[in-house]
């Protein structure tokens, strides 16, 4: 429990650093994130005592909270679900507040938000701190679930997160807000299901990164593919045949 809270706080800190790099030193947002990740690699190694892998067997975790109760068997499913649903509710309520509105609007159009008297640098700081805190919380849950922490756990996670968001939004829709939040969660589940399916079909685990890359490419190109399909349909439903002559 304490571990989760500490991870949350550490994530806040990392997100704040990214935000400051971006807003105060005018480094591009993506590059700011990459820089912080680069630096964190060393920091994580220090936190892990210079070792690349730390086993957490027989350590108290959130999952061991239910030990000795009838729910012990299903702890692995129950606890993440409870945390996920409470985060969903909290995030939904937060995004419906005055500050939540401003946070969402800053993502859309920061110039408008500044023109309405809001310090967007501060909004970006709080937004990045919060989102990184959620990422860190997830990471610490994973470590506790698998009973070890590995320095390379997070590699490729940004892209997977992005893919989950896009898959969810494309398939399940974005309006209203609650639907969008649920869509993102379902997108992440769907992504994992596709990976599991690939493994089930006999793909070698070493090919997983390639599969991930393909899924992400597909997810990112979904809007363009949609547009091509619509254009194709239009072309073929035209009363004038391509060969001409008939019409």
CA–CA distances in Å: residue 39 to residues 10, 18, 152, 232 = 14, 11, 14, 47
Q: Which of 111, 206, 224, 246 binds other proteins (CB under 8 A)?
A: 111
117 lies in the binding site for other proteins (CB under 8 A): yes
Nearer to other proteins, 60 or 93 (CB): 93
Q: Which of 9, 66, 83, 118 binds other proteins (CB under 8 A)?
A: 118
d(CA 131, CA 113): 20
Nearer to other proteins, 2 or 115 (CB): 115
Q: Which two tokens stand for residue 60?
A: 């108290």
Question: DSSP letter string over 115-166?
Answer: HTT--HHHHHHHHHHHHHHHHHHHHHHHHHHHTEEETTTTTTHHHHHHHHHH
116 lies in the binding site for other proteins (CB under 8 A): yes
Residues 87-106 that bind other proteins (CB under 8 A): 94, 96-102, 104-105
Nearer to other proteins, 101 or 232 (CB): 101
- Do residues 179 and 173 make contact, with C-beta atoms less than 8 angstroms apart? yes
In the complex, least distance from residue 109 CB atom to other proteins, rounded to whole angstroms: 5
Residues 158-177 that bind other proteins (CB under 8 A): 174-176
d(CA 31, CA 199): 33
Instruction: List contacts with other proteins (CB under 8 A).
Output: 94, 96-102, 104-105, 107-109, 111-120, 174-176
């Amino acid at each position: 429990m304490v571990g989760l809270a500490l991870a949350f706080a550490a994530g806040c800190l990392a997100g704040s650093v990214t935000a400051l790099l971006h807003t105060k030193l005018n480094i591009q947002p993506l590059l700011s994130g990459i820089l912080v990740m680069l630096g964190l690699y060393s920091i994580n190694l220090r936190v892990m005592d210079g070792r690349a892998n730390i086993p957490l067997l027989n350590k108290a975790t959130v999952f061991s909270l239910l030990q000795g109760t009838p729910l012990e068997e299903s702890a692995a499913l129950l606890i993440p679900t409870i945390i996920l649903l409470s985060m969903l509710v909290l995030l939904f309520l937060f995004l419906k507040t005055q500050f939540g509105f401003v946070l969402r609007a800053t993502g859309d159009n920061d110039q408008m938000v500044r023109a309405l008297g809001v310090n967007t640098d501060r909004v970006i700081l709080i937004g990045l701190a919060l989102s990184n805190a959620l990422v860190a919380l997830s990471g610490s849950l994973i470590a506790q679930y698998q009973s070890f922490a590995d320095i390379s756990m997070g590699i490729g996670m940004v892209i997977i997160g992005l893919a989950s968001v896009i898959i969810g939004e494309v398939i399940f829709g974005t309006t209203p807000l609650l639907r969008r939040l649920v869509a993102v969660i379902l997108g992440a589940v769907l992504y994992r299901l596709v990976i599991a399916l690939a493994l089930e079909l006999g793909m070698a685990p070493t090919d997983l990164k390639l599969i991930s890359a393909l899924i992400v490419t597909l997810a990112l190109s979904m809007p363009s593919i949609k547009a091509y399909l619509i254009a194709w349909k239009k072309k073929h439903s035209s009363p004038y045949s391509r060969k001409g002559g008939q019409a």
